[in-house]
Structure 1
Amino acid sequence: MHGNLRTGAAIAVRDLAVAYGATPILQEIDLDFEPGSFTALLGSSGCGKTTLLRALSGFVPVGRGRILVDGRDLAALPPEKRDMAMVFQSYALWPHMTVAQNIGYGLKLRRKSRHEIAEKVAAMLAFLGLSGYEERKVTALSGGQRQRVALGRALAIEPSILLLDEPLSNLDAKIRLTMRHEIRAIQQKLGLTAIHVTHDREEAMTMADRLVIMRAGRVVQVGTPEEVYDQPASPFVASFMGAENSLPVHIERHASGAVLRVPSLTANAAYDGPLPTGPAVAYFRDDAARLDAVDAPPGGDLIAPGTVAARAYPGGHYRYRVTVAGGEVSVDDTELHPVGVQVGLRLAPRRLHVFPAADTGSMN
């Protein structure tokens, strides 16, 4: 069944712009998608990621720019001429049809013979672990089974490009984890070029080999999950990728080297980053900090005095709110500390994402 499936196509998006009336939604989008790659479009609600996916598929008209698939501009073509298949958030299955009829729907529109449709549907059911469900109505299926049917309908037409519009958001947590791995395995087995829209950071990082971070209709960073997580390009990306704590710092350079200092406090640590002298802001994740004694030896870390303001137990560790340097940060720690006690907030400089203070006003 799948030996003759085409491998994924190369996609190039150039200077793409989309507007709804006078309101710009996408601006100056330039992206390349390698054949057989799995890319996640990631961003908060309203950032334009779904609009970009729909522009690629042909469901949203393009105001300006090109969508090149294997060098051919498809921007003016209707969806059925683009060799792409979409899996929707709502599954978009026909409730009055059986599983087999839903999977074969795209083939029927393409005027394939009844024999060819039956053969491909049977092979797709076996591929997705749905053999025996042919005559079931989709309304009688579980959420995970419905998602497999939606995926089967998309794959049955043998596309070179698979577009996924938050396909797992309606599933419960356990099924969602299973489907993440199933969709990724199917994409790799068939060699499709996949583009997946999600607002779930963990989902994007576990499924995709490349992330495209979007904000306000623009692409703000592109990279592997490791690159975007460990080397965010801006305060916005750092915060979006989980480094939501911030601490005002000051970079000082001396003959012996650069130092990261917390203003108004004695805390300081060696700094080997590229930023010049001046005020900056350090961003870090809850698990990048530890609570220690106020007078604990730094050992190369930055230790800032603070006070435990609140404590919760989410399981396996404690989650603290700590007042430090005029603000509050969140810290995960395995040790029990009473509320109100003074502590030393221990931060390893290598776990900090440091940006000039001037960049943080608009969270670029």
Structure 2
Amino acid sequence: MTAVEIPTSETGGGTQRFPADQPLRLDSGALLSPLEIAYKTYGRLNAEKSNAVLVCHALTGDQHLASTHPTTGKPGWWSRFVGPGLPLDPERHFIICTNVIGGCMGSTGPGSIDPTTGRPYGLSFPVITIADMVRAQAMLIEALGIETLFAVVGGSMGGMQVLQWAADYPEKLFSAVCIAAAARHSAQNIAFHEVGRQAIMADPDWRGGAYDLYGVKPEKGLAVARMAAHITYLSEPALQRKFGRELQRDGLSWGFDADFQVESYLRHQGASFVDRFDANSYLYITRALDYFDLAAGYGGVLAEAFRRARHVRFCVLSFSSDWLYSTAESRDIVRALNAAGCRASFAEITTDKGHDAFFLDEPALDSALRGFLSAAAERRGIA
């Protein structure tokens, strides 16, 4: 097939700016304007515009899916899946990844300038939802001149966006891959998020969310929030295998230094996180996750959310040791898809790596994703 340039920017992405007369209408009733969406692309859109894949990132991700992160200098968060011969192949697919609204890597969020005040929004930024994130992505996809996505793919919060796409824009989807996600946030997940938010807001440098105006950051609170959340991304067997009760140095400190290697690991995770993420964005995005309950808008019946998506090909994947979004929750999604008459394949991948397995070297995940996308591409007629 002949490749063509996308109509609104060079291949590689950038920032899509929507004028004031194209506001984003939020579930809260607020209008967000002007709107900016930062995104990256990999590959070329074919002449038929039939090979576009939207990849949705998780809570602390961004648009740098497979390119060097400008702040950390590290490879993109899903580089192991994007490249020639990999499941997401730029020689075959036109891959798009956006920074969600509420984020801190270029899309409109609490750190953006409020045009009415000339200052960062801070806590005046409206509360957002997963549906709002998807609505913004749909605006971008339309601006790029793409009528139907070959696939929308995501893990964790990205998987929730995939489900929201299927419910809200099924006519724009050919296939959908939901990895390690759930159709609603559980009480336990809400509880962990609340601990993190309270840690941020208890930091004296948070300044009621206006820390940018004072030239400070609530780094200690944000680091603690990251530490608490990171525990949920791992499994007990993985922690035991990697760290056990190994000490950081010879002997105990008989104090509160990081005696154990696992303590040092979590402190490192917290310290490195504050260099690349914004505290207020963390508050807003975790709140969006907490509000997520896809069935709520359909009388509490999840299958009803998928009634219009019977033509979409679904793949749902879970990990056996994931206790953040368990296999049971993935099975609930599959049962709802089946009840709605949708075509859905499902696999539980056996691993002890926990929720974060979708970021890690997990050959069974590679195989499942590659097999599903290859079969869908054959159906779609993508060479």
TM range (shorter): under 0.3
Q: Which structure has greater strand proportion?
A: 1
Structure with the bigger percentage of helix: 2
| Higher Cα Rg, which structure | 1
TM-score in terms of structure 2 length: 0.23
TM-score by length of structure 1 reads 0.24
